[in-house]
Structure 1
């Protein structure tokens, strides 16, 4: 058998050693030839043996100049097949930091050190929007982006572009997790006294009924998506159907300044669609709100939009979730209560229910969750009154033992 390694002499007299061998076939079945040139015959022989072995075992990685940016394009196209527009937008937004920090790097040259540097950059300087640019992203956002990058690199492994996923074992540092835990501990939902103070202070405000909707554990997008005819029944004891949502989607294809658009959709899960009985104070507040909106429509005449949503301005134009948030914060300032996220108002409601004897299954169903443990772990926070109840029970035990 002839030697597959040939000796060649360049014009300047330099001697090189070259071979041409078959590699793994292309995806379409066509033959793939690999040509390599080395300074010594030993280097050429070793590389030829490696290529032949890896081609036989299916572990050969074909050299490619594919960049992280190009890989993310391919992953995004695959990951968003058949998903809702809002989900696709969330995926696109999640990988933006990876595009900024790693986008021009070749995928085959990525190392674990590159991914660790990327994570540290996100935690300290990675924010581009949704806050002050150049500040750190939250641990939750960093984990989300890292997870999407891992998924993209898993695709690269499956396609044979890299031999392993260099992001697989990279994690957020313990110090960052500790700081995030300290921050979360400082951000607590309202307690019962704060909820009552807020309600008392805003009773005369036009948005009183809207704020009560946020306090019965509806998500902001669910509040904004509530419609009078389809969802609200004010007869008898009254019910409200939770299911239609109006959420903001960031669309980079639109001109700057108008990229935030509203998408209307059903809940993500079957449990998210639910029918809730109306607490009596909320039913009265919604009746008053509907009567007021009827007066506003008469006053505005043809200028009134008549969108059919519950949460609208004086001209009938529906709220977006960001406007709902701004109005809520305005009322919190007016009431002199601690400023919290609307999601923390939701936490407060669910915690109060759980800490006042409402069965766990009811709390979870009210929240629209399918996982009872998730509701208890994330949304239910023990308050001083519930802890005092525990102390009273322990007093009974200790007293009986004395």
Structure 2
């Protein structure tokens, strides 16, 4: 137990001091903290507070740990739990926190610091994807702020700090409204546009992989499909999500399984997709015969003319090339998934089936993020309203 000692300075003044254990450092050496006060009463009060907080698990010891060092520790704690692509995403989202806040001692970080940081993110933090030094989209700021909140929760759990100073900081509402006005994202294709694309792409070599995107598969799932393991023409099924090939920073291919159990699912093949895949398989056999020993037999569905596996980047490029050729409104390839799930939802597919098709565990998430009814989709509502608002014999009152 620490002892409060009376000490006399060279000047002759009296002070009261005690020393407490503060654990061990990274090298295993014992750490101690010294507290000095002008009066014995102050020393006893502080000593009692420290002992009480230590007993109740609330003690926060002084630390020189910086925000940048916290970020390093947080990412290291996630290394064994996250896939490489996910960890890289975490690292990217914390870059702005490291740049703006990294030099600050963690225990000195305040809500005002976080608010100034968020303001900077909205006006001057952009590195790429637009003019350098301009503001980030509010949706991006949400992701950056959310990840930093998680890092601070880790700091609270580790008792580096007593509270999370970012917990209640939000993107200002005015910034959200301005972002919605100035950066309206194109809506996913409607049914007419999907059909126009299908008709225009029918003779393209990559018609089958593109059709897989239109039946709701993620680009990484399309790129990871294998003929023998995932496509069953006899049963008319497709094993999606069991093997994906995604891109890390648009340069390195990462092959992995789905993030969740729900992501690995067996889907029945719509007949047009089954026929397109069969034709694609026949085409690849012909290309194999032409190339002979030079053909690269990778076993993947999405390959080029010599059998080399293609990536999600190639799939996007093929889709955008066809959009331009067909003079169709350009949307993200990933929006094909949105179009598919919206079509299924407005045509009465049950929520639980919709989520299972998408590979989600939460049906509410699927509907909130992926279902975007258009005015044309609301025709059924108009029919019901006609019944509600009309008169019993079907006639409405004449205009006055």
Q: Is the 8 A contact 2:258 2:264 kept in 1?
A: yes
- For residues 38-57 of structure 1, the aligned pairs below 5 Å read 41=38, 48=43, 51-57=46-52
Distance in 2, matches of 1:319 and 1:128, equals: 29
Q: Is the 8 A contact 2:237 2:267 kept in 1?
A: yes
1:276 is aligned to: 267
Question: Quick one: which of 368, 388, 392 aligns to 2:383?
Answer: 392
* Structure 2 residue ranges without an equivalent (≥5): none
Partner secondary structure for residue 288 of structure 1? helix
Q: Is the 8 A contact 1:224 1:311 kept in 2?
A: yes
Do structure 1's residue 324 and structure 2's residue 321 form an aligned pair?
Answer: no
Question: How far has the Cα of 1:185 moved from its partner?
Answer: 5.3
1:77 is aligned to: 76
1:197 is aligned to: 196
Question: Quick one: which of 353, 360, 369 aligns to 2:351?
Answer: 360
Partner secondary structure for residue 23 of structure 2? coil
Q: Is the 8 A contact 2:66 2:104 kept in 1?
A: yes
Distance 1:279 1:158, change over 3 A: closer
Question: How far has the Cα of 1:128 moved from its partner?
Answer: 2.7
CA distances 1:85-110 after superposition (whole Å, capped 9, x unpaired): 22222222221221122122211221
Of stretches 164-173 and 147-156 in structure 1, the one that deviates more from structure 2 is 147-156
Distance in 2, matches of 1:190 and 1:94, equals: 30
Distance in 2, matches of 1:50 and 1:96, equals: 42
Q: Is the 8 A contact 1:51 1:60 kept in 2?
A: no
CA distances 1:180-207 after superposition (whole Å, capped 9, x unpaired): 4446754211011111111111111111
Distance 1:66 1:50, change over 3 A: farther
CA distances 1:220-273 after superposition (whole Å, capped 9, x unpaired): 11111111111112236x2211021111234xxxxxxxx832121111122211
Q: Is the 8 A contact 1:128 1:134 kept in 2?
A: yes
1:256 is aligned to: none
- For residues 110-121 of structure 1, the aligned pairs below 5 Å read 110-121=109-120
Q: Is the 8 A contact 1:157 1:165 kept in 2?
A: yes
TM-score (norm 2): 0.86
Question: How far has the Cα of 1:338 moved from its partner?
Answer: 0.8
Q: Is the 8 A contact 1:221 1:245 kept in 2?
A: yes
2:240 is aligned to: 242
Matched positions, count: 383
Question: How far has the Cα of 1:340 moved from its partner?
Answer: 0.7
* Structure 1 residue ranges without an equivalent (≥5): 251-258
2:9 is aligned to: 8
Partner secondary structure for residue 9 of structure 2? strand
CA distances 1:283-318 after superposition (whole Å, capped 9, x unpaired): 221122112222222333343322111111222221
Q: Is the 8 A contact 1:22 1:31 kept in 2?
A: no
2:227 is aligned to: 228
- For residues 55-204 of structure 1, the aligned pairs below 5 Å read 55-58=50-53, 59-129=58-128, 132-182=131-181, 186-204=185-203
Distance in 2, matches of 1:197 and 1:136, equals: 37
Distance 1:301 1:139, change over 3 A: farther
Question: How far has the Cα of 1:82 moved from its partner?
Answer: 3.1
Question: How far has the Cα of 1:62 moved from its partner?
Answer: 2.7
Distance in 1, matches of 2:20 and 2:41, equals: 15
2:292 is aligned to: 301
2:342 is aligned to: 351
Distance in 2, matches of 1:317 and 1:135, equals: 40
Distance in 2, matches of 1:338 and 1:365, equals: 29
Q: Is the 8 A contact 1:24 1:60 kept in 2?
A: no
TM-score (norm 1): 0.86
Distance 1:283 1:268, change over 3 A: same
Question: Quick one: which of 283, 302, 308 aligns to 1:311?
Answer: 302
